[in-house]
Amino acid sequence: MRINKFMARCGVCSRREADGLIKNGVVTINGRTAVIGDEVEDSDEVSVSGKKISLPDETIVIAYYKPVGVVCSGKDSHADRIISDEIPEEITGGKRVTYAGRLDKDSEGLIILTDDGDLIDAMMKGSNMHEKEYEVRVNNILKESDIKNMRNGIYLEELDTVTRPCRVRQTGDKSFNIILTQGLNRQIRRMCESLGLKVQSLKRTRVMNLTLENLQVGASRKLTSEEKKTLYSECGLHI
């Protein structure tokens, strides 16, 4: 197995982040400094910054209802609440989990966390076209042209890109439901701003096959075996 994949499977980080750690010379295989492209066997001892890592017996996947005010970060000295402190140890089992797709501080809703770096990579890869669904409320009455423009794609000047066509359904004078298959930085807020609208509330209700269902704000739970199996299958992975 490639060293970066091994590190991802161990839950250390994503494959891309693993390559960065390897380049920085903090990864060793049997005491030798690893290089990108190295292969590892079951019998090899791999360490990151002097700490031995190993494949987990079973990966963990968690659904979390992030409240407004929680920051998606492992460390942030300026944040009052960060996501890494919000998931109880009885849910994580003491394992280090990472989120697959962040929500900004002022947004709420479903976030998936896992110790499987391969799953994170698959979920985050834009070309996989995985769906994420949101409920949005804005400050002004929506026009038919606003909904049409969002459906067809909007040019975002700050990012110099056009958003991918998406499904949008108006649910009220100032509210709509939107399903995206990409995850640009603050995408929905930027789309609304380009139309002269300001987001007042934003909630992610679904990620691929997973929904908030009866999950309460701030609560988290492990996925059922069937949910986990479907999620892995939709990502082209095997448990």
Catalytic positions: 104
29, two tokens: 């295989």
b vs e for 127-142, b when ≥16 Cβ sit within 10 Å of the residue's Cβ? eeebebbbbbebeeeb
Q: Is 52 exposed, middle or buried (0-12, 13-18, 19+ CB in 10 A)?
A: exposed
User: Nearest to residue 66, comparing CAs of 100, 38, 41?
Assistant: 100
Residue type for position 121 = D
Nearest to 204 by CA among 106, 80, 128, 71: 106
Question: Could you tell me which of 90, 122, 118, 121 has the C-alpha nearest to residue 10?
Answer: 118
Token couple for 227 = 């949910």
Q: Which residues contact 20 (CB under 8 A, 6 or more apart)?
A: none
Task: Please provide the DSSP assignment of 164-225 as one string.
Answer: PP-EEEEEETTEEEEEES---TTHHHHHHHHTT--EEEEEEEEETTEE-TTPPTT-EEEPPH
Q: Look-up: residue for tokens 């930027």?
A: 190
